[in-house]
Amino acid sequence: MRFSKGRNFLFRIPEGEEIGGFINRFAKENNILMGTVRGIGSLRNPKIGYFDEKAGKYRVIPLEGTYELVSLSGNISVKDGQPFAHIHVALGGPDGRVHGGHLVEGEVFVAEVLVEELLGEVLERKPRENGLALWDEAEL
Ligand code: ZN
């Protein structure tokens, strides 16, 4: 898929917000249908997911306390007719060890986020047999 660069948004998410929900709302408010997301900061009591391929669903890993948001990366596309951010995170605990996975939820202590909009054909997530909501595969 070929896209051209759209607008760039750099912003801080208010403390106490749920990070994924806020990014989805931000995309909707600004009519961002496609894009990439990056961020750093700190999250409270985050939950991350590990997709269990055999079970066909996410195993949720709850983390207690405040974790450094070492890295947030993801993309924005369309799911159920709305902009939807698919986000993965690396979270650093007090001992410096990192937990990583699919972002399920996390309360913002600090979050500095960059959204880069992409313009072009809109990719849509659709439910697949493997239990995931995915784009159509690319054709060469
Ligand atoms: Zn994921």
The per-residue pLDDT for range 108-127, each reduced to its tens digit, is 999 999 999 999 999 999 99
Residue with tokens 């990070």: 19
Q: Can you point out the beta strands (E) in 23-128?
A: 35-52, 57-62, 66-79, 82-92, 98-120, 124-127
- Ligand 1: centre distance to CA 59 (Å): 12
- Ligand 1: centre distance to CA 2 (Å): 22
Set out the domains of the chain in order of their start, with CATH numbers.
7-139 (3.30.1330.80)
Confidence of residue 2 (pLDDT cuts 50, 70, 90): confident
| Distance, CA of 80 to CA of 95 (rounded, Å) | 40
- Ligand 1: centre distance to CA 94 (Å): 25
Q: SS3 of 80, please?
A: coil
Mind listing the pLDDT tens digit for each residue in 49-96? 999 999 999 999 999 999 999 999 999 999 999 999 999 999 999 999
